[in-house]
Amino acid sequence: MTDIGMKVDGLTVDLHTPRGTVRAVDGVSFTAHRGRTLALLGESGCGKSMTAQAVVGLLEPIAEVTGGSIDIDGEDLLTVSRKRRRQLAGPALSIVFQDALTALNPVVKVGVQLAEPYRIHRKMSAKAARAEAIELMRHVGIPEPESRADSYPHQFSGGMRQRLLIAMAVALSPKVLIADEPTTALDVTVQAQILALLARLRKEHDMAVILITHDLSVVAEEADTVAVMYSGRIVETGPVDQVFEDPRHPYTRGLLESVPVDAERGADLSSIPGSPPDLFSIPPGCPYQARCPLVMDVCRTSRPALVKTGDRAVACHAASASGSEGVSHAA
Amino acid sequence: MTSPADTEEAATKPNYLKMLLADPLAFIAAIVLLVVAFIAVFGRQLAGPTATQGDLALSRLAPFSTDHGWQYFLGGDLLGRSLLGRLMVATQTTMSVSVPVVLISLVIGASVGMWAGYHRGWRETLAMRIADVVLSFPSLLMAVVVLYIFSPSIASIIAILAVTRIPVYLRTARAESAELQSRVFVDAARTFGTPSGAIIRRHIFPIVLPTLLTVATLDFCYVMLAESSLSFLGIGVQPPDVSWGLMVAQGRDQLRTQWWLSVLPGLAIVITTVSANLLASWVRLATDPGQRWRLTTPRRRRRRRAVPVLEA
Amino acid sequence: MLTFLRRRALTSLLPLLAVVLGVFVLARLTGNPAALYLPENATAEAREQFSAANGFDKPIWAQLIDYFAGVARLDFGTSLRTGEDAATMALRAFPATLQLAVVTMVLAIAVAIVVGCWAALRPNGLADRVSGMLSMTAASVPDFWLAILGIWVFAIILGVLPTSGVDAGGASWVLPIAVLMVRPAGVLTQVVRGAMISALGSPYVKVARAKGASEGRVVARHALKNAAPPALTVAGDLAVGLINGAVVVESIFGWPGIGKLMIDAILQRDFAVLQAAVALTAISIFVLNIAIDIGYALLDARVRNKAGAAA
């Protein structure tokens, strides 16, 4: 067993909107191991990005963490002081955002932006930090880093910008790296390069990578473990090869069936009929009931709990009934 | 044919009066403006002769006493005329400048703006260039030159202020109409061969109107301030006519002894412009379906700020 | 960069020409421009003499050429009151207005940055309420009345500041600047607040926070730099609009600047001086607009590059 990088337990996030309060993330738990990749998989609006933002502490003001814990090296990120949290941001935990164009400051030279982690956490001089930044740019494969350090983000291509963003995130060799849809905005060949870069850096820095994505092929190729999210909850989790080989939750099955066998990277998840429930009107029972081919009476009244079986877990009445060893604990 | 705005209105049917009553600040502002409008129309008759014919015995009378009748509640000026009476008469002058300016610039600016935005191309470019040129110069600078060359009269003040304000409506109307002219319902009307004038009148104007009214309410403040500045400087309304700005100027020399002659007319300006600003920010929320909830949800969660839109 | 500036200079030149030409056209619309220069009780012969001496009897196009040549040489004739060269009078008054305007804008920008940033960081907090009140005052309170209120309270009742003039040193600056500042400070605070709210919500600010940057660093190094360009544009417009306020404030406080010169010229019917003052103001607005464009390009590399690519 590898070292644990981060352990999230029962994370719950509420959104306070003009129309009322809704639960966007509902009791999500997972563990990320160092040197390995955990994928959070789901459609847009399933709460996977909200989970990432809650973990790094960058939720919008209308969102509020109302329960759970996020543990890195014995420290709970949700209870430490703001100052301590800032100290951990970078060396312990880091994030790569989806859209590198907006995630890089448009009016600051990239060399300065990349030097910032060293300036903040290692109190380096501007000159020393710049040297580190240039080294970092070389490390992620930016050609001619000495001269490019004085360029602005808009002077780089999309793939190069994503490399810069990743470089900035791994500058201080964090224990945990969250990658929030890191390749969605890129074209297919560049996607592969960026994923390869992430995999290389993960090994070199022995980071726990949490990969947030809606792309099954990315999960299949890059992740060790997968957690499938639906309507703010994890509905199935386990080693990627096992889950993809033998999906137990009808939603996971639907996702896998929606992709043709020789699917291209980036294929859409649109072929399950229906759409996820509106967060304002989640029905009692299982949130997937309206789209589920196996729906039973119990699904309409009681919410299935996540039942663990060996390395795997699934939250489905039908799966529990059809012979898994686990016992269903209806909520 | 129904435009999207029509169906939207029908669906939600906002009760404006109820929303206004629910908002004390906006409600008071509306009452104040109604009173000002009433005085502007009937002030001269109400004030009676004390506003024009002074009683020298009451010269420099201090304010806040009703011993000499309600007209003298705000004191008397050097010639013994009642300050309150003169304020009421001045309301008429101030409004007879501000209201026409707003109406004229609204009508011209909105028509040209919608026309330019609907047709795009050279018409749009030309209209916007002219608007840019007018806006790029301080309005007072233009007014100063024009009022020098054509001696100041109420008509020339209205004319020059209207010219400086037309671009404001023109820009707003053009932006909205340029956006609307590409929409499906306008396209549909065009396919049926509806003439462009009718399309603008029937489909574009009703949608642009709420925005224009908000702009007009705010602009009303601007025009009032501009008129009073000109009158204060001696190049606006000329005696024997009287406006609020002119009264501030006339009372200025007596500031040491009769402060009320200058301070109170200015207060009248402030009360009116603050009310118009408050009402404008309410109108902006009330006419915007996306923002209306702010007026109907309970106060605790409400995050409304009465901040006027300013232009430089 | 140079192409960019040249193009911007040409677009800014248009309004300048419009004003100079506008003064010419308006003066001719009155029938006899000589009447504008001469006292109202001047005799018919005096008017004719003046017309002939100044070429007002020539055909209109010749007058136009004369006029533009005069403007190019900054020759607007002599003052009717003092007999002095009108352009010289305007140039002499100019520095006083410039000083007033520069100090006012610097202070207004400082206030706007502090209050605007603070208001953006703490919505509905104290600074947010102050910024709301400031902008309400800027939109509702006439500057001349504010000036008179200031004189009444601080000069007459409290006796701590002079009523007018420039002789009292620092104290004589307080009221004029305070009054002149209200509008730019009120408007700019709202602009800074809005731009900061959108900058603080942007992904690059999240990234900076994810790097462990302190609140001060996020505001100063990341958000403010992005909020600066829109604020600069508005500040430019406000600086142009400052001339409105300067006319009022200078004539109330007896400040010997270009605004007071303009009003005096009007009240004394001194057309040559008025023309010179208006032209000088128009030219400085032209220069200011170009300066703003340069500042804009320096702040944002994207503007520079786009301009370079268009060349």
**pLDDT tens digit string along C113-122?**
999 898 888 8
Interface contacts (A, C; CB < 8 Å)? 77
CB contact under 8 A, B133 and C15: yes
Q: What are the distances in angstroms from CA C109 to CA A274, A298, C119, C231?
A: 54, 65, 15, 9
CB contact under 8 A, A152 and C221: no
Residue A1 pLDDT more than 60?
Answer: no
Q: What is the model's pLDDT at position B308?
A: 46
In this structure, of A48-52, A79-83, A135-139, B186-190, the range with the lowest mean pLDDT score is B186-190
In this structure, of A36-45, A198-207, C143-152, C169-178, the range with the lowest mean pLDDT score is C169-178
Burial class (CB in 10 A: 0-12, 13-18, 19+), B115: buried
Over residues A262-289, mean pLDDT: 69
Residue B280 pLDDT more than 60?
Answer: yes
Question: Distance between CA B50 and CA B61 in Å, rounded?
Answer: 13
What mean pLDDT, rounded, does chain C reach? 82
Beta bridge partners of A209: A37, A177
CB contact under 8 A, B149 and C27: yes
Question: Distance between CA B4 and CA B30 in Å, rounded?
Answer: 29
Chain C residue numbers with beta carbons less than 8 Å from the beta carbon of A105 are 204, 207-208, 222, 225-226
End-to-end alpha-carbon separation of chain C, Å? Answer: 9
Domain map (residue ranges) of chain B: 12-39+90-243+259-298
Query: CB-based contact (8 Å) between A61 and chain B?
Result: no
C-facing residues of A in 124-163 (CB < 8 A) are 152, 154-155
CA distance, residue B277 to nearest chain C CA (Å): 7
Question: Distance between CA C165 and CA A216 in Å, rounded?
Answer: 77
> What's the pLDDT tens digit per position in B150-181?
778 888 889 889 988 898 898 888 888 888 87
Q: B64 near B73, Cβ under 8 Å? A: yes
Q: What is the model's pLDDT at position B13?
A: 56
In this structure, of A1-10, B70-79, B96-105, the range with the lowest mean pLDDT score is B70-79
Question: Distance between CA B150 and CA C108 in Å, rounded?
Answer: 36
Residue B296 pLDDT more than 70?
Answer: no
Partner-chain residue, chosen from C201, C212, C299, that has the shortest CB–CB distance to A120? C212
What is the percent of chain B where pLDDT is above 70? 79
C-facing residues of B in 118-147 (CB < 8 A) are 129, 132-133, 136-142, 144-147
Q: What is the model's pLDDT at position B2?
A: 41
Q: What is the model's pLDDT at position A263?
A: 47
Closest CA to C273 of C60, C24, C86: C86
Over residues B123-141, mean pLDDT: 80
Q: What is the model's pLDDT at position B69?
A: 67
Q: What is the model's pLDDT at position A326?
A: 40
Query: CB-based contact (8 Å) between B293 and chain A?
Result: yes
In this structure, of A23-27, B263-267, C57-61, C67-71, the range with the lowest mean pLDDT score is C57-61
CA distance, residue C273 to nearest chain A CA (Å): 46
CB contact under 8 A, C213 and A86: yes
Q: What is the model's pLDDT at position B57?
A: 67
Q: What are the distances in angstroms from CA A35 to CA A1, A195, A197, A210?
A: 11, 15, 14, 11
Residue A163 pLDDT more than 70?
Answer: yes
Looking at the domain that runs over A1-92+175-245, which CATH code has it been given?
A: 3.40.50.300
Number of H helices, E strands in chain C: 14, 0
Q: What is the model's pLDDT at position A7?
A: 92
CB contact under 8 A, C204 and A88: no
Nearest CA in chain B to C193: B307
Query: CB-based contact (8 Å) between A18 and chain B?
Result: yes
Q: What angle is formed at CA B300 by the lines to CA B297 and CA B302, rounded to 5 degrees?
A: 55
Question: B298 pLDDT band (50/70/90 cuts)?
Answer: very low
Closest CA to C122 of C200, C185, C182, C187: C200
Question: B304 pLDDT band (50/70/90 cuts)?
Answer: very low
Chain C residue numbers with beta carbons less than 8 Å from the beta carbon of A107 are 225-226, 299-301
Interface test with C, best of B33, B144, B267, B274 (most C CBs within 10 A): B144
Question: A70 pLDDT band (50/70/90 cuts)?
Answer: very high
Q: C58 near C38, Cβ under 8 Å? A: no
Fold of the C86-310 domain: MetI-like fold (1.10.3720)
Q: What is the model's pLDDT at position C221?
A: 86
> What's the pLDDT tens digit per position in B65-98?
666 666 666 677 776 677 787 888 888 888 889 9
Number of H helices, E strands in chain B: 13, 0
What mean pLDDT, rounded, does chain B reach? 78
Question: B51 pLDDT band (50/70/90 cuts)?
Answer: low
Over residues B175-200, mean pLDDT: 79
B-facing residues of C in 33-52 (CB < 8 A) are 36
Interface contacts (B, C; CB < 8 Å)? 153
Partner-chain residue, chosen from B139, B145, B269, that has the shortest CB–CB distance to C142? B269
Nearest CA in chain B to C157: B256
CA distance, residue C203 to nearest chain A CA (Å): 5
Token pair belonging to A74: 């014995």
Q: What is the model's pLDDT at position B116?
A: 86
**If you count them, how many residues does chain C have?**
311
Which class in CATH covers the domain with range B12-39+90-243+259-298? mainly alpha
Nearest CA in chain A to C227: A107
Closest CA to B63 of B263, B310, B295: B263
CA distance, residue B289 to nearest chain A CA (Å): 14
What is the dihedral angle through the alpha carbons of A53, A57, A62, A68, rounded to the nearest 10 degrees?
90
CB contact under 8 A, C152 and B145: no
Residue carrying the six token digits 């002894």:
B257
Query: CB-based contact (8 Å) between C126 and chain B?
Result: no
Chain A residue numbers with beta carbons less than 8 Å from the beta carbon of C201 are 60
Chain C residue numbers with beta carbons less than 8 Å from the beta carbon of B221 are 139-140
CB within 8 Å of B40: residues ≥ 6 apart: B91, B92, B94, B95, B96
Neighbours of A267 (CB within 10 A): 14
CB contact under 8 A, C211 and A90: yes
Closest CA to A198 of A45, A186, B81: A186
Q: What is the model's pLDDT at position A265?
A: 53
Residue A169 pLDDT more than 50?
Answer: yes
Q: What is the model's pLDDT at position B289?
A: 64
The more confidently predicted of residues A147 and C171 is A147
Question: Distance between CA C91 and CA C37 in Å, rounded?
Answer: 20
Q: Which residues of chain C have pLDDT under 70?
A: 1-2, 4, 30-33, 40, 166-168, 301-311
Q: A115 near A171, Cβ under 8 Å? A: no
Q: What is the model's pLDDT at position C111?
A: 92
Number of H helices, E strands in chain A: 13, 12
Closest CA to B41 of B101, B96, B98: B96
Chains contacting C (3 or more CB pairs within 8 Å): A, B
Q: What are the distances in angstroms from CA A306 to CA A248, A315, B151?
A: 12, 4, 86
CB contact under 8 A, C202 and A102: yes
The more confidently predicted of residues A3 and B292 is A3
Residue B105 pLDDT more than 90?
Answer: yes
Interface test with A, best of C207, C222, C304, C306 (most A CBs within 10 A): C207
Query: CB-based contact (8 Å) between A273 and chain B?
Result: no
Query: CB-based contact (8 Å) between B277 and chain C?
Result: yes
Chain A residue numbers with beta carbons less than 8 Å from the beta carbon of C210 are 56, 58, 89-90, 94-95, 169
CA distance, residue C298 to nearest chain B CA (Å): 23
Residue carrying the six token digits 């018409």:
B123
Nearest CA in chain B to C258: B141
Residue A229 pLDDT more than 70?
Answer: yes
Partner-chain residue, chosen from B144, B146, B270, that has the shortest CB–CB distance to C141? B270
User: What pairing do the DSSP bridges indicate for beta strands A4-17 and A20-33?
Assistant: antiparallel
Residue B294 pLDDT more than 80?
Answer: no
**Contacts by A117-122, CB closer than 8 A, 24 or more apart:** A117/A90, A117/A168, A117/A171, A117/A172, A117/C211, A117/C212, A118/A171, A118/A172, A120/A90, A120/C211, A120/C212, A120/C213, A120/C214, A120/C217, A121/A87, A121/A90, A121/A91, A121/A172, A121/C212, A122/A172
Question: Distance between CA C58 and CA C62 in Å, rounded?
Answer: 6
Token pair belonging to A165: 């963003």
Residue B8 pLDDT more than 80?
Answer: no
CB contact under 8 A, A90 and C302: no
CB contact under 8 A, C204 and A102: yes
Interface test with C, best of A116, A170, A178 (most C CBs within 10 A): A116
CA distance, residue C212 to nearest chain B CA (Å): 30
Question: A30 pLDDT band (50/70/90 cuts)?
Answer: very high
Over residues B123-128, mean pLDDT: 84
